[in-house]
Amino acid sequence: MEESLKTSSTEATTSTQRITSKLPTENASTNTQQNAAGSNGQDATSRTIDSQQFVVIEGFQVGRGVARIDPSDMAQLGCQPGDIIMITGGRTTAAKVVPSAIVERGQQTIQMDSKVR
């Protein structure tokens, strides 16, 4: 869902922003109670959030149904490598989340192939 704009001699690509969230588990009340019990003494920055916005970039693992994001973003979403996440943009899709490459970290990006997008 990337849009390309052509000018007379240059080509610019506009990135698409997506919202990503972890899929709810079947027993969410138990998980909430466990998180509340385990969060005693933790600061506000280590709490999980429901969703985040990322800039979509082309992924490397074509056809595998994976989305690569920064491990710190995974921690904020409350998910671990291998979890299934829901990605909402022009349409909603699901993908297995894996850590991004070191050079891509800290940039609020998500790498997805064309099948996941």
Domains parsed from the chain with CATH numbers: 1-7+16-23+50-117 (2.40.40.20)
Write down the pLDDT at residue 81: 92
Statement: residue 4 has pLDDT above 50: no
Q: What are phi and psi of 6, to 5 degrees?
A: -105, 135
pTM higher than the cut 0.85: no
d(CA 101, CA 99): 7
CA atoms within 13 A on the CB side of 69: 32
In tens, the pLDDT along 85-112 reads: 888 888 888 889 999 888 878 888 888 8
In tens, the pLDDT along 47-84 reads: 666 777 787 877 766 667 888 888 988 888 888 999 99
- The residue type of 53 is Q
- Residue 17, CA distances (Å) to 26, 31, 58, 66 in order: 28, 29, 13, 17
